[in-house]
A = this chain, B = another copy of it.
Amino acid sequence: MRAKARASGVIFRPHVKTHKTVEIARMQHGGAVGPITVSTLAEGEFFADAGFRDITYAVPIALEKLDRAAALARRIERLNLLIDSEPALRALEKHGGPFDVFLKVDCGYHRAGVELSDPRGMTLAAEMARSLAVRFRGLLTHAGHSYHARNAEEIRAVARQETACLTRFRALLSTIGIGDLLRSAGSTPTMSVVERFDDVDEIRPGNYVFYDAFQATVGSCRRSDCAVSVLATVIGSYPDRGEAIVDAGALALSKDLGPDHIDPHFGYGIVCDLDLHPLDVRLVALSQEHGKLRAKKPPAVGEQLRILPNHSCLTAAMFDTYHVIEAGRIIDQWHPVRGW
């Protein structure tokens, strides 16, 4: 991803919420520190402590966190905040600032952001450009609707929409005299399927660093690209009903349903390391500490299975430690930051 960003001449600002570790963030930048994206202030503070100096906090900020954000901003070169509303701009102004700020743009996901078709977005941008409390750095979008795609071709259509939306918005703003805005885009599916990054100035993919069962199913990657898994032990086996129980439940895997828009019975992850076709084994239910498998030939008590999680970001956040494996041996342990 880094090589593709460099070849395309765009800023590479990976989202570190997927792994939340200093070790992997440095790997993403070839062993050095570099620009990153975070999803919580706790992540921002943790990575600042580790020497990261250029951080985008890519969730619209809760207004009671402005003091903490300002304190973090003073410790590093740049903390970019995200806003998409007048009340947020007013709160930044009341606080004083100046804050580095991106305007969040909705390119079709309809979670957060202003829409290109809505004149209030233009009005807000104009006020941001005028405000003394903010340094208006650019337009930021997240094509989360790429996760609704069913194959790489559908993802590519969302990728074109993602960058076109930013480019059009920037062109509109230049007609009212607002220039020099960065276009920042990011979603692992869209960043994975394109050959190069055109019509954009910065990319922020996160999940690509691990991938997962979901990404492999929608077409972002191959299953063999997935880099994180949960090792579980069979603690019950019931061949009569074609089921087995493993010691990985909702607190080990998360209850993310994965690509259920492609397969409503996908289950809670993909079981590997079995001499079975993966489709023969489904992780059909999770309770707090139990996972239930259904299989024609269920594994025996004591067997260990590797499970590719549906959503590696959520699963990784459940653990205090990564066991880092090379050629079948544990060579290191890494510890993610947690909380908010």
Q: Hey, which chain B residues are within 8 Å of A144, CB to CB?
A: 287
CA distance A317 to B318 in the complex (A): 9
Within 8 A of B (CB), among A169-210: none
Determine if A167 is an interface residue (Cβ-Cβ < 8 Å).
Answer: no
Is there contact, CB below 8 Å, between A287 and B61? no
Determine if A76 is an interface residue (Cβ-Cβ < 8 Å).
Answer: no
Q: Hey, which chain B residues are within 8 Å of A75, CB to CB?
A: none
CA distance A146 to B290 in the complex (A): 17
* Residue from the list B64, B87, B241, B255 in contact with A300, Cβ < 8 A: B87
Is there contact, CB below 8 Å, between A301 and B63? yes
Given A61-B235, A235-B61, answer yes or no on A87-B288 (Cβ-Cβ < 8 Å).
Answer: no
Q: Hey, which chain B residues are within 8 Å of A340, CB to CB?
A: 247, 252
Is there contact, CB below 8 Å, between B292 and A233? no
Determine if A59 is an interface residue (Cβ-Cβ < 8 Å).
Answer: yes
With CB as the reference atom, state the residue of chain B lying closest to A338: B320
Is there contact, CB below 8 Å, between B250 and A60? no
Given A87-B301, A255-B255, A301-B87, answer yes or no on A112-B250 (Cβ-Cβ < 8 Å).
Answer: no
Given A112-B236, A236-B84, A302-B87, answer yes or no on A251-B317 (Cβ-Cβ < 8 Å).
Answer: yes
**Contact pattern, A 239-283, Cβ under 8 Å of B = 1, otherwise 0:** 011010101001110111100000000000000000000000000
Q: Hey, which chain B residues are within 8 Å of A91, CB to CB?
A: 302
Which residues of A pack against B, CB within 8 Å? 17, 39-40, 59-64, 84-85, 87-88, 91, 110-113, 118, 144, 233, 235-237, 240-241, 243, 245, 247, 250-252, 254-257, 285, 287-290, 292, 300-302, 311, 313-314, 317, 319-320, 338-340
What 16 additional pairs, Cβ within 8 angstroms, besides A62-B233, A250-B256? Answer: A39-B288, A62-B247, A63-B233, A63-B301, A64-B233, A85-B301, A87-B300, A88-B235, A112-B235, A113-B236, A250-B254, A251-B314, A251-B317, A255-B256, A255-B257, A320-B339
